[in-house]
Amino acid sequence: MLIVMTGMTIRHIPDSSYLHFKALQALLRQSQLEGISKQKRHEIHINQNKVTINDKDYFFSPLVCDPLLFHYNEQGNISKAFTMRCNGYKAVFQLGSGWISNE
């Protein structure tokens, strides 16, 4: 018996590290926008799988990131430009806008 399957595609299912990386990016964007709306500076410290934003901790295990320390000011600008590296994934933070782009 011969079975022919057509029209089916196999989609790539992202691993948990990638999903945590995207969640981290979303959290940082949310922090930036909240800072703008409330006219409040947001201090951000990233250390391995822990992110601290204004003294509130978030955990992104199994994601492990290089240590970073920066802030968003009241206008949403970041304090420095940099590339965030986590489990082989990279995101570039642009000076001036603070928006994140994947590399």
Alpha-carbon distances, residue 7 vs 4, 10, 11, 13, 88 (angstroms) = 10, 10, 13, 18, 33
User: What residues does 45 pair with on adjacent strands?
Assistant: 52, 69
Flag whether pLDDT at 3 surpasses 80. Answer: no
Check pLDDT > 70 for residue 30.
Answer: yes
pTM: predicted TM-score of the whole model, two decimal places: 0.81
Q: Is 21 helix (H, G, I), strand (E, B) or coil?
A: helix
Overall average pLDDT of the 24-44 stretch: 94
Please give the structure tokens belonging to residue 68: 């970073």
103: tokens are 């590399």
